[in-house]
Amino acid sequence: MKFSRNGSTPRIAIIGGGFGGIGVSVLLKKAGIDSFEVFEKSPNIGGVWWDNRYPGAEVDTPSVMYSYSFEPYRWSRTHVRQAELLEYMEYVAQKHDIIRHVHTNTTVERADWSDKAQQYTVTFGDGSKRQFEIVISAVGLLSDPRYPTWPGLDAFEGEKFHTSRWDHSIDLAGKRVAVVGTGSTAVQIVPNIAPIADKVTLFQREPGWVLPKGAQTFGPAEREALNDPIAQKLVRWGMLVQREKFQFRNAAWRPGTPQNIASERAARAYIARVFADRPDLADLVTPSYPFGGKRPILTDDFYPSLLRDNVELVPHAVDSVTPKGIVDMSGTHHDIDVLVMSTGFKSSFASTFNLTGDKGIDLHSTWGGDDKAFLGIMVPSFPNFFMLYGPNTNGGAIVTHLEEQCRWVVAAIKHQIRNRFSALYVDEAISEAYNVILQDRLKGTSFDGVNNYYASASGRIITQWSDGAIVYGLATRLLRRVAWRGKRIVRSSDRPPVVIPVDREPAGLPIDGELEMILQANEV
């Protein structure tokens, strides 16, 4: 379906140029809607895969799954590394003519809805303002770095940086490097810097469950096979179905299920195999919480790197920082030259900008730390606002989830245009009922009672989805029009109204008299 280009379509601001921003841009183009602009704070598109260029950065999900279903690629590895993934995103953006819509080095500070004008005023980092009818947040979940507040951090005399702001100008050769954190990022960094640094000291507040990734390089025949779109779709669906056996009703993350028991046994067996001669290390890396309580870590070389003579695992969090090093919670001082903060990201959504909706209500104040949305995409009282990778959409096949969200957003915008709605809302009662059911389905999982980023301060699980990608996809397709509510109000602005081909308009649609006159004047 193509929309008329003889008149104007809604002006759309997309905040973020990563997987979500590029994906929804491509689908908007395919729908014949190109009145969008993408605002990316970094110097290039790529989102977290531009920001996170630390040594060893690569995906945990198989490359075939960590890509758009509509754009297969000839990957070099089972689990693609950062540089190749960024190349893929640039390839997709170039192929679909997205680049000309992108503004890099552009920070969005806030977006404020006007009931009178039926549009958002978007304020940028340089203080400039522009108006858009629709705002799409594609900033994701783990994109806003969390910096620690350790006493003495500012007084440290060596080099220091967050992993998502890696300083490649610093030569680690012969240096004493501290890495704080043992999550998915740190376990990729340590094996890659240990052969270079004089010593690597790894500070672990709490261990994570680790399983081998099984990453491999594809041979020529395997890469050639990936050129066949049908073959790649079959492989993708096979992987998805296999994952669903573990994801439905969070079986893999629910203590006592066969899937959870099997996963924990495999993780314990991996520990026993690698640390057969180092029971002291085996004890330090074995978690005390159920499998899945934190994000499981997939890596082939982290455990072996802990056996190196120049790598020390400190089983304590950081207490404070001195000009020359770190004091851990046991009171021990560690002399270091470089401090790498693998301290994760803020787990709140749309955290990089402020948003106001109906009657000036603030999004983050409305949430109060308990972030929630309908299918993670729309929030009541915030018209014409959509989120990609929003609340309770994490876990499982992330890019598959993102695609379904992008399709929802494009369908919503098409629905809005067809019906001449100046504002599209999600029904508050339906949204609330959905979130009650969702939280009920998350009860009894490994997420509860564990120190993780999944839960808010109140204990509500705000990041995780309760079922697999197939169920999520069905939900986004079946619950669209059920939840949408529209308004037709003439905007008090000089901008021409949306123009829609007559043959696309539902028969007998009631139209406000004043809007009817405007539409006739525009020869609709």
Cα distance between residue 366 and residue 264, in whole Å: 38
DSSP strands (E only) in 115-196: 119-124, 129-132, 134-137, 159-162, 176-180
CA distance 156 to 140: 32
Q: CA angle, 264 as apex, 56 and 457 as ends, to 5°?
A: 75
- The answer to whether the CB of 355 falls within 8 A of the CB of 111 is yes
212 phi-psi bin (left φ>0, alpha ψ -120 to 50, beta other): beta
Backbone φ and ψ of 442, nearest 5°? -90, -10
Burial 112-138 (b: 16+ CB within 10 A, else e): bbeeebbbbebbbeeeeeeebbbbbbb
Both structure tokens of 517:
């006159």
Amino acid at 391: P
Q: Structure tokens of 113?
A: 């809805």
Residue 517 has a pLDDT of: 30
CA–CA gap between residue 502 and residue 474 (Å, rounded): 31
Nearest to 12 by CA among 406, 307, 289, 477: 406
d(CA 369, CA 344): 18
What's CA 217's distance to the chain center, in Å? 26
Q: What is the CATH number of domain 12-144+347-444+463-489?
A: 3.50.50.60
Instruction: Check if the beta carbon of residue 186 is closer than 8 Å to that of residue 209.
Output: no
Per-residue pLDDT of the chain (524 residues; tens, 9 = 90+): 344 433 358 999 999 999 999 999 999 999 999 999 999 999 999 999 999 999 999 999 999 999 999 998 989 999 999 999 999 999 999 999 999 999 999 999 999 999 999 999 999 999 999 999 999 999 988 788 999 999 999 999 999 999 999 999 999 999 999 999 999 999 999 999 999 999 999 999 999 999 999 999 999 888 888 777 788 788 888 888 888 777 777 888 999 999 999 999 999 999 999 999 999 999 999 999 999 999 999 999 999 999 999 999 999 999 999 999 999 999 999 999 999 999 998 888 999 999 999 999 999 999 999 999 999 999 999 999 999 999 999 987 889 999 999 999 999 999 999 999 999 999 999 999 999 999 999 999 998 878 899 999 899 999 999 888 899 999 999 999 899 999 988 655 445 444 333 223 333 333 333 333 322 333 22
Q: What is the CATH number of domain 153-341?
A: 3.50.50.60
- The amino acid at 367: W
Two domains, one topology: 12-144+347-444+463-489 and 153-341 = yes
Strand order in the sheet with 385-387: 102-103, 36-39, 12-15, 134-137, 385-387
- CB-based contact 116:490 (threshold 8 Å): no
pLDDT of residue 490: 67
pLDDT the model gives residue 227: 74
Q: What is the pLDDT of residue 172?
A: 98
The dihedral sign for the CA sequence 115, 119, 125, 127: negative
| Residues 461/463/469/474 CA torsion (nearest 10 deg) | 70
pLDDT value of residue 223: 83
Sequence spans of domains, the chain: 12-144+347-444+463-489, 153-341, 494-524
Q: Which of 415, 421, 414 is nearest to 487 (CA)?
A: 421
